[in-house]
């Protein structure tokens, strides 16, 4: 009797399911916005020669620097993309030489001092100007006349990184990076 009741229940359920229309239990909510705009933009910059606006890859290539001697170069950090941005400049020493630790760097913007200190400790934080570029003057100077600095070479890199909100943005944030190679050699005195 029990088996018969179970069999009738299964047949009845099957008959109901066959005659019922198919349904999905998905819920769909749709909201339409009028005049919605999506735009993409770029964050890009270049380092330019201030005389002819050519892109710069090598910056200082100084030979025979003497005590109390200096070399200077001008550089334009230019906004090539559409976004406003901040940027930082750091120095990476590529040959940890005594000369690199003895060089002093001064950076000027509109003849105002932005940085003055040891070359190897350089760290500058700036925002791109409303004009879309920053013209900077870099001065490398050797103050010491120690004999141990004769005929030495300092190879270093100016590492420049742009960012929108935080200098630590790397993944997920908008950023760009460029490097300028440099070489300063001392002479005899």
Q: How many residues appear in the chain? A: 189
Q: Would you say residue 3 lies in a domain?
A: no
Inter-residue contact 103 to 162 (CB < 8 Å) = no
pLDDT band at 103 (very low <50, low <70, confident <90, very high): very high
Q: Would you say residue 115 lies in a domain?
A: yes
Q: Would you say residue 64 lies in a domain?
A: yes
pLDDT value at position 8? 85
Average pLDDT over residues 44-53: 70
**What secondary structure does DSSP assign to 60-80, as a single string?**
EEEEEE-TT-EEEEEEEEEE-
6-15 pLDDT, tens digit per residue, is 888 888 777 7
- Higher-pLDDT residue of 171, 146: 146
CATH number, domain of 89, equals 2.60.40
Rounded to an integer, what distance in angstroms lies between the CA atom of residue 182 and that of residue 92? 10
Q: Would you say residue 111 lies in a domain?
A: yes
| pLDDT value at 77 more than 80 | yes
pLDDT value at position 3? 83
Average pLDDT over residues 121-143: 90
The domain total for the chain is 1
pLDDT value at position 136? 93
Q: Would you say residue 52 lies in a domain?
A: yes
Model pTM above 0.95: no
Please state the separation of Cα 166 from the chain's center in Å. 10
Mean pLDDT of the chain: 83
Q: Would you say residue 4 lies in a domain?
A: no
| pLDDT value at 175 more than 90 | no
| pLDDT value at 43 more than 60 | no
pLDDT value at position 25? 57
Inter-residue contact 71 to 140 (CB < 8 Å) = yes
pLDDT value at position 24? 54
pLDDT value at position 121? 93
Q: Would you say residue 38 lies in a domain?
A: no
Q: Would you say residue 1 lies in a domain?
A: no
| pLDDT value at 48 more than 80 | no
Structural domain including 137 reads 45-186
């Amino acid at each position: 009797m029990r088996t018969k009741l179970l069999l009738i229940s299964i047949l009845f359920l099957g008959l109901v399911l066959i005659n019922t229309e198919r349904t999905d239990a998905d819920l769909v909510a749709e909201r339409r916005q009028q005049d919605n705009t999506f735009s993409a933009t770029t964050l890009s910059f270049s380092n330019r020669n201030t005389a002819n606006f050519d892109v710069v890859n090598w910056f200082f290539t100084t030979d025979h620097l003497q005590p109390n001697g200096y070399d200077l170069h001008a550089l334009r950090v230019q906004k090539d993309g559409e976004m406003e941005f901040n940027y930082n400049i750091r120095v990476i020493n590529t040959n940890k030489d005594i000369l690199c630790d003895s060089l002093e760097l001064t950076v000027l913007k509109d003849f105002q001092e932005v940085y003055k200190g040891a070359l190897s400790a350089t760290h500058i934080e700036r925002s791109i100007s409303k004009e879309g570029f920053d013209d900077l003057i870099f001065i490398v100077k050797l103050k010491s006349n120690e004999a141990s600095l004769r005929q030495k070479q300092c190879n270093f890199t100016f590492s420049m990184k742009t960012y929108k909100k935080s200098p630590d943005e790397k993944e997920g944030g908008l950023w760009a990076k460029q490097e300028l190679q440099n070489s300063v050699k001392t002479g005899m005195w």
